[in-house]
Amino acid sequence: MDDIDNQRNTLVSILQDPILDAKQLPLPLFEYITDNFSDYRVVGSGGSGTVYKGLLPNDQVVAVKRLHINRRVVDDNAFDAEVASMKKLRHKNVVRLLSYCIHMEEQEILYKGEKIVAQKRERLLCMEFVPNGPVKKGGPPRGAEWPERHRIIKGICNGLDYIHGKGLIHLDLKPDNILLDDSMVPKIADFGISRFFGDENTSNAGNFAGTRGYTAPEFIDDGVVSNKADIFSLGTVIFELLTESKGPKVYQETQKDKNSFVQQELVKWTEALTKTHQGRALEIASKEVETCLKIALNCKDHDRDRRRTAKQISQILYLTLDPYILDPDKPEEAVHVENFTSLKDMDLHPSQPWILLSLLSGYIVMLNYDTKVSLTPFKLSDKPEFIQLNLWKGTAIGTLLPVMIMGCCMCATSIGLNRGS
């Protein structure tokens, strides 16, 4: 029992300290905290395994996934490599791996009346417990729900961007694998699990990548696997959060008349939003919905090279939200940061009038000296010819816009803009 207590304390320490890496722990610990994998502790089950609630001291909870390895061929090298990658992941939109177990032992069992020696094998993943379970599909548009749905979409895209940036591919992105914590923050789970298994799974799309509506056509047709397969799945997830269509139905409807489908859904959302939003808030929310619909449509493009990356999608979502940026020939390169300051904090000359000039649509906002803005470098492939002080992305009056901050008198005149008042 002392060993179990020490192992539990180790797991608690990892759970409480986000800096600590996941550590391999023995099977008896996980049998103990799940009450020997009792049915009443089951919180979910899927093709790759069953998830159990594990109880720790002080009412702390973890999730223990027991992989169905006895039914399939397991690539242990792939498991080891994937765990090594997952151990380093730290992101608020990705479920954190806390511990894992690789267990093998030989046992005598009766088989057709005779004793034989069989090998008992276990592969376990212990992860943070996410209490609100899988994200629910959207259902009909409701204006009051839009801010939450929008936050969930942005969180999923941020998590996927992070995963892809680490060289991982999810391969099974769908609502069941996106969990919500007690603050309704989405966390992507189960990425890479399908790659733990050998050719039995990777040779057939239907065995590990869900229904046709989630599986990228290049994988179905040619077996091509890339992070753009995740982007195709993301398109279905976004459509399901925004519309009443489900998986395969989303796929079928968007193939009929793409633009008509988007417009129909946008009309439904606009009608719903008018009941809860007014004025500028209604305009912004409607544009957010339109942008998310267009992003989802691009994600489901049959040509994987035309699908945006998760990073580009996240950038678009945080640039709130000019349809101009949805031109596939003009990918954006801005990076969003929550770093609010003011021109005064930048020690710019207080006597100069300053202007925020959008690089997307020519939208101009005059700034007072103390106006709050969010500043981060903004790259641009075709830089203007005139002299500029800095190229930034700014947040003014609650609206995110990629902007240049310039001394406005001389510079504004040189590019044919009126100074304003």
* Residue 249 sits in the same domain as residue 283: yes
Token digits for 182?
């007690």
pTM of the full predicted structure?
0.71
Q: Which domain holds residue 30?
A: 2-128
Q: Last residue of some domain: 103, 128, 153?
A: 128
Most confident of 16-30, 203-217, 308-322: 16-30
Looking at the structure, do residues 122 and 214 belong to the same domain, yes or no? no
- In the chain, pLDDT over 90 holds for what percent of residues? 37
Rounded to whole angstroms, the Cα distance separating 137 from 153 reads: 12
Q: Do 150 and 288 have their domain in common?
A: yes
The one catalytic residue in 172, 190, 301, 322 is 172
**Is residue 347 annotated as a catalytic residue, yes or no?**
no
358: left (phi over 0), alpha (psi -120 to 50) or beta: beta
Residue (of 181, 179, 180, 159) closest to 170 by Cα position: 159
Provide the pLDDT for residue 161: 92
Which pLDDT value is given to residue 252? 62
Query: Quick one: 171 and 308 in the same domain?
Result: yes
Same domain, 123 and 151: no
Q: Between these two residues, 107 and 96, which has the higher pLDDT value?
A: 96
In a domain, 117, yes or no: yes
Identity of residue 262? V
Residues 54-75 pLDDT 10s: 999 989 999 999 987 755 556 6
- The answer to whether residues 147 and 234 belong to one domain is yes
Identify whether residues 237 and 360 lie together within a single domain: no
Q: Tell me what pLDDT residue 192 has.
A: 59
333 lies in some domain: no
Q: Are residues 295 and 176 part of one domain? A: yes
Domain ends where: 293, 326, 359?
A: 326
- Asked if residue 420 belongs to a domain, the reply is no
The domain tally of the chain equals 3
Residue 403 in any domain: the answer is: yes
Is residue 419, in this structure, part of any structural domain at all? no
Q: Is the pLDDT of residue 176 over 80?
A: yes
pLDDT-wise least confident of 157-171, 176-190, 204-218, 266-280? 204-218
Domain termination residue (choose one: 326, 357, 379): 326
Question: Above 80 in pLDDT, residue 376?
Answer: no
Q: Are residues 300 and 163 in the same domain?
A: yes
Task: Flag whether 245 is in a domain.
Answer: yes
Q: Do 110 and 244 have their domain in common?
A: no
Q: Across all residues in the chain, what is the average pLDDT?
A: 73
> What is the CATH number for 188?
1.10.510.10
Distance (Å, whole) CA 308 – CA 294: 11
pLDDT at 384: 34
256 is in an annotated binding site: no
pLDDT of amino acid 167: 83
pLDDT tier, 230 (very low <50, low <70, confident <90, very high otherwise): very high
Q: Is 94 in the same domain as 30?
A: yes
Q: What is the pLDDT of residues 106-164, one digit of tens each?
A: 878 787 888 888 778 889 999 999 999 999 877 778 888 899 999 999 999 999 999 99
Question: Does residue 171 lie in a domain region?
Answer: yes
Do 172 and 232 reside in the same domain of the chain?
yes
| Per-residue pLDDT tens over the stretch 387-406 | 333 334 444 434 444 444 44
pLDDT value of residue 380: 38
Q: How confident is the model at residue 304 (pLDDT cuts 50, 70, 90)?
A: very high
Task: State the Cα–Cα distance between residues 375 and 373, nearest whole angstrom.
Answer: 6
